[in-house]
């Protein structure tokens, strides 16, 4: 659901955006009763914390048929795989159009090895399945498709993923229902100007691997049509700040 906790953008941009829109909010009467659009944003956000089924139902009812969900940009390959703990192997679930993976991978492809490292359950959390690195770097891998092993290569690049309504609902349907809601989710403010609404939230969670707690601010932007349906939405949050709370650092 929107403003979920697995997103990535530079924190400086988030902080700047927060300061801009909430100064505007003070000028536009932030204590006024919530209008139709603000109520829709609140329902959308609250559904995201109730559960998977509620999130999907909210998207079906509140999003326009031609609506778009803008996922945060990142540097990578442009495919997803089932990374739930109970899942086995590394099987491609979706491929983003116009990404490095597009035309190379297909849904259902199973990775056999990445950079010569075998895909096994034992090294799942070891970092050995490493696709990360610099933009422009080519990663070689072996996949299994229709029973045959195929050598592939993808060059890491900027991914700018957008999902239409159908794709967005399908993407949510792949999520883990047991790990849906955040530990704590606070709606700080929802403001609007014209057909655009912004929501500022605070998210708190605990990292499963380290056991360390972390929190972040996130800002979501919602654009509505004349019928009060969401035609575009996306969000920014402080991913670098999250990593620093977990003891990671950016070294290049």
Residues 207-242: tens digit of each pLDDT: 988 899 999 999 999 999 999 999 999 999 998 899
Q: What is the pLDDT of residue 49?
A: 96
DSSP string, the chain: -TT-S-----HHHHHHHHHHHHHHHHHT-TTSPP-HHHHHHHHHHHHHHH-HHHHHHHHHHHEEEEEEEEPPPEEE--EEE---TT--S-BEEEE-TTSTTBTTB-TT-EEEEETTEE--STTTTTT-S---S-TT-EEEEEEEETTEEEEEEEE-EEE--EEEHHHHHHHHHTS-GGG-S-SEEEEEEEEEETTEEEEEEEEEEE-TTT--EEEEEEEEEEEE-TTS-EEEEEEEE-HHHHHHHTT-----
Indicate whether 79 belongs to any domain. yes
> Which one has a higher pLDDT value, 217 or 2?
217
Can you give the pLDDT at residue 138? 92
Q: What is the pTM of this model?
A: 0.74
Q: What is the pLDDT of residues 59-95, one digit of tens each?
A: 999 999 999 999 888 888 999 887 666 666 788 988 9
In a domain, 105, yes or no: yes
207/88 same-domain check: no
Residue 131 above 90 pLDDT?
Answer: no
Residue 6, domain member (yes or no): no
Q: Quick check: is 174 in a domain? A: yes
Identify whether 191 is part of a domain.
yes
Residue 104 belongs to some domain of the structure: yes
Q: What is the pLDDT of residue 238?
A: 93
Q: Domain holding 66: CATH number? A: 3.10.450.50
Asked if 37 and 48 sit in the same domain, the reply is: yes
Is 111's pLDDT higher than 80? Answer: yes
Residue numbers of the domain that contains 213: 11-72+161-245
């Amino acid at each position: 659901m929107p403003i979920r906790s697995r997103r990535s953008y530079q924190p400086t941009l988030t902080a700047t955006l927060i300061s801009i829109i909430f100064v505007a909010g003070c000028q536009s009467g932030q204590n006024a009763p919530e209008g139709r659009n603000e109520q829709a944003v609140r329902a959308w956000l609250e559904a995201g914390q109730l559960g998977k089924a509620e999130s999907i139902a909210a998207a079906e009812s509140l999003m326009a048929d031609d609506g778009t969900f803008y996922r945060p940009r990142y540097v990578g390959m442009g495919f997803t795989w089932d990374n739930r703990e109970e899942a086995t192997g590394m099987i491609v679930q979706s491929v983003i159009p116009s990404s490095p993976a597009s035309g190379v991978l297909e849904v259902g492809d199973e990775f056999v090895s990445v950079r010569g490292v075998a895909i096994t359950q034992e090294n799942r959390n070891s970092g050995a399945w490493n696709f990360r690195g610099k933009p422009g770097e080519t990663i070689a891998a072996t996949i299994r498709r229709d029973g045959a092993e195929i050598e592939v290569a993808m060059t890491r690049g900027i991914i700018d993923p957008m999902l239409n309504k159908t794709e967005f609902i399908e993407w949510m349907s792949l999520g883990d229902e047991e790990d849906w809601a955040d530990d704590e989710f606070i709606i700080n403010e929802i403001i609007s100007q014209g057909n655009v609404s912004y929501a500022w939230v605070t998210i708190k969670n605990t990292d499963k691997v380290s056991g360390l707690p972390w929190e972040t601010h996130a800002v979501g932007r919602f654009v509505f049509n004349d019928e009060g349906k969401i035609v575009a939405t996306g969000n920014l949050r402080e991913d670098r700040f999250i990593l620093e709370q977990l003891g990671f650092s950016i070294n290049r």
